[in-house]
Amino acid sequence: MTFDFVEPVVFAVLAIGVIAAGASVVLINRITAAALLMALTFLCMAGMFVLLGAETIAAFQVLIYVGAITVLILYGVMFTKYGDRPYGLFFQRQTPLAAVFVFALAVPVAIWAFTFTAPPPRPGGGDLPSLATSVFTDFSFPFEVASVLLLAAMVGAIVLTKRDEAREFEARRP
Amino acid sequence: MIQLVWLIPAFPLAAFLIDGLFGRRWLRAWTGWIASAAVGASAIVAIGVFLEVLGGKQQTVVQLYRWIGVGDFQVNVAALIDPLSSTMLLVVTVVSFLIFVYSNGYMAEDRGLWRFFTWMSLFVFAMLILVMADNYLLMFVGWEGVGLCSYLLIGFWFERPEPYYAAKKAFVMNRIGDWGYTIGIITIFLVFGSMNFLDVFKRVEESAPAQSALTLICLALFFGATGKSAQLPLYSWLPDAMEGPTPVSALIHAATMVTSGVYLVARSTPLFAAAGSSLEVVGVVGAITAIFAATIALVQFDIKRVMAYSTVSQLGYMFLALGVGAPVAAIFHLATHAFFKALLFLGSGSVIHGLGGEQDMRRMGALRRKMPVTFWTMLIAGGALAALPPLAGFWSKDEIVGAAFTNGHVLLYAIGIVTAVLTAFYVTRALWMTFYGEPRDRHLYDHAHESPRVMILPLAALALGSVVLGIAIGFPPEQGFIHRFLGPAVEVPGAVEHVPELATILVLALVSVAAGVIGIAVAISVYVRHRPDATAIARAAGPYYRILVNKYYVDELYDHRIVEAARAFAGASWAFDIHIIDGLANRIGWLLSLSGTGARRLQTGIVGNYALTIVAGLLLVLVAYGGYAAGVFGR
Amino acid sequence: MVPLGAYIAVSAALFFIGCAGVLVRRNAVVILMCVELMLNAANLALVAFSRRYGAVDERGSVFVIFVFVIAAAEVAVGLAIVLSAYRNRPVVDVDEIRAMKG
């Protein structure tokens, strides 16, 4: 019995997962649910990476996206409240127009996307050795720059959210 | 001395600057004496120059300054000193000097005295430039300068509206003539490659250019001359110019500026002689203007108007002389006319001054008892104008009509004789109404007084000139000093010198004298003996009389046809400018403002809209990419 | 063997879903989530091309690593901004933030 049917099936499942979860993020009202669905999207995405043979990338995907970014988003959700507003009215005013544009863009592009074909691939191995080699030799400079970028982002985020204690003390004075 | 000829215009220029800058506050009454001294100094230098030319230096060019040098177009500031220009220099400076001295008295109580002498000095400067120039362009500088000063001086009493309108009219008519002059000199340059007198005249001889070009040049220049010298059709500014002070009328509108047209044509004799028919035009226009103006002068009541029309008429005589091929006679008459006409004007000014400003002859009468010197000098001048021998006017006018006859222009000769009769008539009438008879306005008569010495002396000097000048330089006719002196300068080399017989000369002279006597006799008959009575004639002539008094309605005609048309055009242009051009600019601005307001609506401040714009741009890019890839948009 | 086009189609679909979300949702945090979806879609496309076309040095995947870095940084800073804006006015409705109007 050949197991050739496994890959397409898994792909189909993962694809449906990605698309459905993604659409739900856009359409679901409750933010927490949306955040968790986003995490599900990321997981399915990681699965797709594995299917493609890029295990390292998949690992990173889970670590960074599902791990860090989802947590960050949840933090953001926690710290911002809707206040008295009801959960309704959650589409922007420009929604119809936006829908038209996006639809006009999406359909042709998606159709066109289907037409891509690739030569039959070389038998896989993982991607880790070549990836590691590239990053640390050819692309070592961007790698270092990326570190600096992260540092800058970290500092920036801290600076932005630093409480101005003096002002708040003044504001709270009777 | 000839090398110092630049001093002649320099003195009045200095006077202009000094009087103009310092006259108002510091110099006041001295401005007049400074200006007079300056012109006096110029006169002395002019005499010196004249004597040197007399002594044999026929033609000198004194280079003063390298002015324009652009490729082929070379024009310098230089003076051409020959018999013609030295004569003009002499006449202009001497007569100007006498008038300046006179003005010190006439304008003494005027608040704008300093302004008067400033402009007068500038005028003399410009006139001297005009006369001294060795090329058409520099002459044009002087030409324009005298036109400008004429405007400034006619409108001297600008607090009243009439002088202002008269000045504007004079300037505009001058400008119309200047258009002709400009076309003339441009064509000269195109045909001859130079604007220099000597160059042009030499080239006319050597290479005979096309008749059509020459005729165009000559007619264009003559058109300019009609504007400056008040001939038909551009004459009507001169009578109106009498709004200016009397010394202005004497200097500018009798002796100097109006003679520049005559000088121009005389100077350009080689051109006119080669152009054939242009001289005929000059002569005919001159003759018609002469008789036309004389008829108007018959019925005018303002003493200065009479003199103004007389000037137009006498200028017509000068152009008549040029037209029949006697440029020497024209210059001769220019010189004598400068003296006696200036005298007539200054004398009128003396009368006006003595009467406290009255100019209407109907209010004058019997003034000879009150103003004797003025009376006698004006009598002499009037006689000269009427061409009575042995006064100056007789010799010059006789030469003109004589030349007309001997060169075969019988009709022009007849017009000249008839005009002489009319001239004698109107001058007698004017003198009689002013000085004889019974005083028509008792009050004016009682207060009349003779003018001060500073005004009387120039009158006497001019009177002396009017008596002596004719005989001194014009006797015997056709062979006098002036012919020998000026002849080589203006006669066309090679033209036949046509000296008539003695008998012809005597007969012509007799006819001229008779014409004058007839005119005087008729005038005396009408006005002194009232046979027939003047008012009776006026009533009998009816409509003809009215036409004359209203100057043939020429001003009305010009106003209705030309000025109205110009106004309509100006109005149309204004409307075009306001509505279409400005409208276009305004509409473009409005359009931009509108588009701005519209574009502003994109700035909603809502970030989501901006993100949508980005997506829309992406859509556009993909459409373009797809179009190109699919070949829809061509290459 | 799943054809390459399938992966790219999924990527395109997810990208435009995220794009629609950015343009349509009001909550700022949800918008950030949708941006992450778009970035993921881009990553998928990159990896798919890289792995299928068989480049030796895996450039597509290297690029993906950097996209991870940038995405993380962007979420951090973005949330910081949202939080500090929230402190000013306790609103996270992007339709209400229009101080830059006109």
B502-532 pLDDT, tens digit each: 777 788 888 888 888 888 888 888 777 776 6
Domain co-membership, B391 together with B448: yes
Taken as a whole, chain C contains a residue count of 102
pLDDT band at C100 (very low <50, low <70, confident <90, very high): low
Which residue did the predictor score with more confidence, A148 or B389?
A: A148
Q: Judge whether residue A17 has pLDDT over 90.
A: yes
User: What pLDDT does B444 receive?
Assistant: 76
In a mutagenesis test of the A interface, which of B615, B620, B621, B623 is the best target, namely the one with the most A β-carbons within 10 Å? B615
> Do the domain assignments include residue B404?
yes
The reply to whether residue B622 touches residue A98, judged by beta carbons under 8 angstroms, is no
**At residue B256, does pLDDT exceed 90?**
no
Q: Above 70 in pLDDT, residue C55?
A: no
- Bridge partners of B60? B81
Domain extent at residue B362: 277-491
Are B614 and B580 contained in the same domain?
A: no
Residue C91 is predicted with a pLDDT of 65
**pLDDT band (50, 70, 90) for residue B181:** very high
Q: Looking at the structure, do residues B343 and B469 belong to the same domain, yes or no?
A: yes
pTM score of the predicted model: 0.70
CB contact under 8 A, A113 and C58: no
Question: Looking at chain C, which subunits does it touch, using at least 3 CB pairs closer than 8 Å as the criterion?
Answer: A, B
pLDDT of residue A85: 53
Mean pLDDT of B138-156: 92
Q: For residue B193, which amino acid is it?
A: G
**In terms of domains, do B372 and B466 share one?**
yes
Residue B16 lies in a domain: no
C-beta atoms of C23 and B615 within 8 A: yes
DSSP character string of B533-586: -HHHHHHHHTHHHHHHHTGGGHHHHHIIIIIHHHHHHHHHHHHIIIIIIHHHHH
Q: Quickly state the pLDDT bin for B601 (edges 50, 70, 90).
A: confident
Q: Is C95 buried (19+), middle (13-18) or exposed (0-12) by CB count in 10 A? A: middle
- In the predicted model, what is the mean pLDDT of chain B? 85
- From chain C residues 5-44, the ones with a CB under 8 A of any chain B CB are 19, 22-23
Q: Is B603 on the interface with C (CB under 8 A)?
A: yes
The arithmetic mean of pLDDT across residues B13-38, rounded, is 86
Q: Which residues of C touch A139 (CB under 8 A)?
A: 62
Contacts of B243 (CB under 8 A, 6+ apart): B154, B155, B157, B160, B162, B163, B166, B167
Which residue among C19, C97, C102 sits closest to B607, beta carbon to beta carbon?
Answer: C97
Distances in whole angstroms, Cα of residue B439 to Cα of each of B361, B436, B443, C51? 10, 8, 9, 131
What whole-number percentage of chain B has pLDDT above 90?
A: 21
Domain ranges of chain C: 4-95
Quick one: CA torsion of B244, B248, B254, B260, rounded to 10 degrees? Answer: -110
| B366 backbone dihedrals φ, ψ, rounded to 5° | 55, 30
B450 occurs within a structural domain = yes
The CATH code of domain C4-95 reads: 1.10.287.3510
pLDDT band at B438 (very low <50, low <70, confident <90, very high): confident
- Count helices and strands in chain A by DSSP H and E runs: 8, 0
pLDDT at A60 over 90: yes
pLDDT attached to residue B491: 64
Please say whether the beta carbons of B340 and B462 come within 8 A.
yes
Q: Each residue of B305-352: pLDDT tens digit?
A: 899 999 999 999 999 998 888 888 888 899 899 999 999 999 998 888
Residue after which a domain boundary falls, among B491, B509, B536? B491
Between these two residues, B456 and C37, which has the higher pLDDT value? C37
Model confidence pLDDT, tens digit, residues B571-600: 999 988 888 888 899 999 999 999 999 888
- Output the pLDDT for position B500: 65
What is the structure's pLDDT at A58? 94
Per-residue confidence (pLDDT) for residue A160, from 0 to 100: 86
Kindly state whether residue B625 falls inside one of the protein's structural domains: yes
Instruction: Please indicate whether residue A168 or residue B587 has the higher confidence score (pLDDT).
Output: B587
Model confidence at A63, pLDDT cuts 50, 70, 90, reads: very high
Q: In chain B, which residues have their Cβ closer than 8 Å to the Cβ of C19?
A: 615
* pLDDT score recorded for residue A88: 44
Structure tokens belonging to residue C89: 């006015």
Shortest Cα–Cα distance, B632 to chain A (Å): 16
Q: Are residues B474 and B340 in the same domain?
A: yes
Distance CA B397, CA B317 (A): 8
Predicted complex ipTM: 0.89
Mean pLDDT of B521-545: 74
Check C57 against A94: CB less than 8 A apart.
no
A114-146 pLDDT, tens digit each: 888 777 666 667 788 888 888 899 899 999 999
Domain ranges of chain A: 6-126
Note the pLDDT tens digit of each residue in C87-98.
777 666 766 666
Q: What is the pLDDT of residue A127?
A: 80
Count of A–C CB contacts within 8 Å? 238
Q: Same domain, yes or no, for B441 and B556?
A: no
Does B235 fall in a domain? no
Whether chain C has a CB inside 8 Å of the CB on B600: the answer is yes
Segment of B181-195, B356-370, C51-65 carrying the highest mean pLDDT: B181-195
Q: What is the CATH number of domain A6-126?
A: 1.20.120.1200
Check whether residue B622 and residue B474 sit in a common domain.
no
Phi, psi of B91 (to 5 degrees): -60, -50
Angle, vertex CA A67, rays to CA A66 and CA A70, nearest 5: 65
Number of Cα atoms under 13 Å in the Cβ half of residue B166:
22
In this prediction, residue B445 carries a pLDDT of 77
Domain count, chain B: 3
The residues that bridge with C25 in the sheet, in sequence order, are: A91
* Cβ <8 Å between B609 and A108: no
B421: in domain: yes
Residue B89 maps to a domain:
no
B401 close to B417: Cβ distance less than 8 angstroms? yes
Q: Are residues B298 and B345 in the same domain?
A: yes
d(CA A118, CA C54): 9
- What pLDDT band is residue C33 in, cutting at 50, 70 and 90? very high
Domain boundary among B491, B508, B530: B491
